[in-house]
Structure 1
């Protein structure tokens, strides 16, 4: 009796162990992670060019002794062109730019025909890229002229001086750009061959539309 019970218990244990050993749990399938989309190329390096619409104003200045007030440049608008080239190292963007503005502004307090003529500038720019937005500053050299008829004849005064300003450009669809810029030109000419100088400080606020090649 005890031997039969012992054999029965042994058989039950063996069968239970065999069943437990053959247990095959389901294998979990790892989740598939979709690859991230590649970032849009917003490099600022290369040639660019475009047009500008400019709101112009200015104040006349001199280091010569004068009697009475100085004339002020009339507020006006001017169309412009620009072309330049950028290099880029990481987020730092630097380059050169040539600017032209078709300015034709009179002076309050001067002869009616005397005008501040077109402005030509050569600039060096330095900026920082925030992806498709570029914030920059510039400094450069500007040339212009005051000319026109006067009651005693005519005047033609060649001016030059420093130009500087701040701006921001935004790339649209990688190639087109739109920008806003403030700039100043401190222009002077010699007063009748003396050591004195005079000339206007010409300010502008510009809307720029361009294309990056």
Structure 2
């Protein structure tokens, strides 16, 4: 069985960052809500499912702990493409997800990172599903800056399969 889908998600994210340009390294953290949209395609063969997904998410997470005089910096947007593989059973679908993310900030810094996570969805009707997901974003060099930024996020979603 093949199916496309679209979903809307709402969740929360936690940022941890280490900027290695400073001695000692500058450590910051932050957290805030996340909202996203995704579209994807899944192919099912027996109980096994595989597919791809593209997504956008707004994640205005402000870096807390910056030195006095620094401008406010926030992680703002993420554009993702990821693969999904998993298992379907009755109305349930569990997948592992891995891919790439392009992130932006409010001060013009941007860059590529990796994203990995897991999700569980429940088919409520023939076409409507709801689910939860955990994702971890990894950034290691952002606009040429040697930093280690990670965002952990948990989200709930509702979607429509067509």
Whether TM exceeds 0.5 here: the answer is: yes
Count of paired positions: 159
Matches of 2:126 and 2:142 in 1, distance apart?
46
Q: List, as ranges, runs of 4+ consecutive aligned residues in structure 1 with deviation greater than 4 Å.
A: 62-65
Which structure is richer in relative contact order (CA contacts within 8 A, separation 6 or more)? Answer: 2
Larger Rg: 1
Q: Which residue of 1 aligns with 2:35?
A: 79
Q: Are 1:168 and 1:180, in contact at CA under 8 Å, matched by a contact in 2?
A: yes
Taking a change above 3 Å as real, the CA distance of residues 190 and 98 of structure 1, as seen in their structure-2 partners, is closer
- Map 1:132-151; keep pairs closer than 5 Å: 132-148=91-107
Structure 2 CA distance for aligned equivalents of residues 199 and 147 of structure 1: 18
What is the RMSD computed on CA atoms of the aligned residues?
1.9
With structure 1 as the length reference, what TM-score do the two structures score?
Answer: 0.69
2:18/2:25 contact within 8 Å kept: no
Unaligned runs of 5+ in 2: none
Structure 1 partner of 2:156? 207
Larger strand proportion, structure 1 or 2? 2
* Structure showing the higher helix proportion among its residues: 1
Structure 1 residues 87 and 69: CA distance shift in structure 2, 3 A:
same
- TM-score (ref. length: structure 2): 0.90
Matched, 1:55 2:7: no
Alpha-carbon spacing, 1:137–1:59, altered in 2? closer, same or farther (3 Å):
same
The 8 Å contact of residues 157 and 189 in structure 1, kept in 2 or not, is answered as no
The aligned counterpart of 2:112 is: 160
